């Protein structure tokens, strides 16, 4: 299996394939790989001549230094997982310096307002960090297709906007949320939960599923208020936000419109570990 840690080497390796009009599928990750990441890789393997996975814990997208410090770093086992899935996958696992070249700062991006909603309100600077690293990675790998999970639905919308605004040629593919047996959305952060917390975190998806049912007959505001009230009685979980928003603009739904698609979004703290999830309300 080929593992690169220098952008110059990945670029040089992929160049002849791209000149030959081969397709390259790309999955950017921060490691601590789980089944959700592997499903993105499978999607890429099915649809491209080559698949590249990057493993890089991007410092500029963490608004909370403690979260960055505690983010799981498991390069060896990540590489093993990829090798077991398919040893032909090309891995790019750079150092901070290889990506940021001595200047570990974000660029500032305008995503037409998508950045000011939900995660943007609670994680200042997060989407500038994501945009900075994803743009750099796209410039290095030059992918034909790039795969992102819908768990980070706002990130997916933002990456699509980034590509559109910068006239990049990559096709951004959104993939369904991969869930654990109790329907908890798969996330690298789940590794930090105790067995008990992980089992009880089933409440997050349960809340979303209930919200979906309620939204058929209630207003977005009513569903939101009920959800907030329910979380007030939870000792293990602290609700950061619950929002029903338009899938396109990510603006909070004030009044339902038949022509719009809505999604419920949630962010919850379990013992200082932040988990997010969402569900289509179609």
Residue 152, annotated as binding a ligand: yes
Angle at 130 between CA 145 and CA 170, to 5 degrees: 20
Is the sign of the CA dihedral 31, 35, 39, 41 positive or negative?
A: positive
Residues 6+ apart with CB under 8 A from 161: 111, 112, 114
- Give the range of 127-135, 225-233, 248-256, 265-273 binding ligand PAF by CB under 6 A: 127-135
The residue assigned the tokens 């309100």 is 121
Residues 6+ apart with CB under 8 A from 231: 207, 237, 238, 239, 242, 268
Residue 35, annotated as binding a ligand: yes
The residue assigned the tokens 């919308």 is 157
CB of 67: closest distance to ligand PAF in angstroms? 12
Confirm whether 37 is a catalytic residue. Answer: yes
- Residue list 186-215, contact with ligand PAF (CB under 6 A): none
φ and ψ of 73, to 5 deg: -120, 110
- Give the range of 3-11, 24-32, 176-184, 228-236 binding ligand PAF by CB under 6 A: 24-32
Residue 31, annotated as binding a ligand: yes
Residue 189, annotated as binding a ligand: yes
Closest CA relative to residue 61, chosen from 106, 118, 110? 106
User: Of 90 and 134, which has the nearer Cβ to ligand PAF?
Assistant: 134
CA dihedral 240, 278, 45, 47 (to 10 degrees): -130
Q: Determine if 58 is a binding residue for ligand PAF (CB under 6 A).
A: yes
- Give the range of 25-33, 115-123, 189-197, 234-242 binding ligand PAF by CB under 6 A: 25-33
Q: Determine if 94 is a binding residue for ligand PAF (CB under 6 A).
A: no
> Residue 153, CB half-sphere, CA atoms under 13 Å: how many?
25
Binding test (CB under 6 A) with ligand PAF, winner from 14, 24, 26, 28: 28
Binding test (CB under 6 A) with ligand PAF, winner from 133, 157, 204, 281: 133
Binding test (CB under 6 A) with ligand PAF, winner from 10, 30, 33, 52: 30
User: Of 29 and 44, which has the nearer Cβ to ligand PAF?
Assistant: 29
Q: Determine if 134 is a binding residue for ligand PAF (CB under 6 A).
A: yes
User: Of 132 and 227, which has the nearer Cβ to ligand PAF?
Assistant: 132
Query: How many residues in the shown chain lie near ligand PAF by CB under 6 A?
Result: 10
Sort 16 into a burial class: Cβ within 10 Å, 0-12 / 13-18 / 19+. exposed
Q: What is the rounded CA–CA span in Å between residue 277 and residue 122?
A: 15
Q: What is the rounded CA–CA span in Å between residue 259 and residue 254?
A: 14
Q: Determine if 32 is a binding residue for ligand PAF (CB under 6 A).
A: no
Report the binding-site residues for (R)-pantoate: 61, 155
Report the binding-site residues for ATP: 30-37, 149-152, 186-189
Please give the residue ranges that form the binding site for ligand PAF (CB under 6 A). 28-30, 58, 61, 130, 133-134, 152, 155
């Amino acid at each position: 299996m080929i593992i690169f840690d220098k952008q110059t080497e990945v670029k040089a390796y992929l160049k002849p394939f791209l000149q030959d009009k081969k397709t390259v599928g790309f999955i950017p990750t921060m490691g601590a790989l789980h089944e959700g990441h592997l499903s993105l890789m499978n999607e890429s393997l099915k649809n491209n001549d080559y698949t590249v996975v990057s493993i890089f814990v991007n410092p500029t997208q963490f608004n909370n230094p403690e979260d960055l410090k505690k983010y799981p770093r498991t390069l060896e086992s990540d590489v093993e997982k990829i090798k077991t899935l398919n040893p032909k996958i090309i891995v790019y696992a750079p150092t901070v310096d290889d990506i940021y070249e001595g200047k570990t700062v974000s660029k500032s991006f305008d995503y037409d307002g998508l950045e000011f909603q939900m995660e943007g309100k609670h994680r200042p600077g997060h989407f500038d960090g994501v945009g900075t690293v994803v743009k750099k990675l796209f410039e290095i790998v030059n992918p034909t297709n790039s795969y992102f999970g819908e768990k980070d639905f706002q990130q997916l919308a933002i990456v699509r906007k980034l590509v559109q605004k910068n006239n990049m040629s990559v096709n951004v593919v959104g993939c369904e949320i991969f869930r654990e047996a109790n329907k908890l959305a798969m996330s690298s952060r789940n590794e930090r939960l105790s067995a008990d917390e992980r089992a009880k975190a089933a409440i997050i998806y349960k809340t979303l599923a209930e919200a979906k049912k309620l939204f058929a007959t209630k207003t977005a505001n009513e569903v939101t208020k009920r959800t907030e009230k329910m979380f007030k009685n939870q000792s293990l979980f602290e609700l950061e936000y619950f929002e029903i928003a338009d899938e396109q603009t990510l603006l909070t739904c004030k009044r339902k419109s038949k022509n719009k698609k809505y999604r419920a979004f949630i962010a919850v703290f379990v013992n200082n570990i932040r988990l997010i999830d969402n569900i289509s309300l179609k």
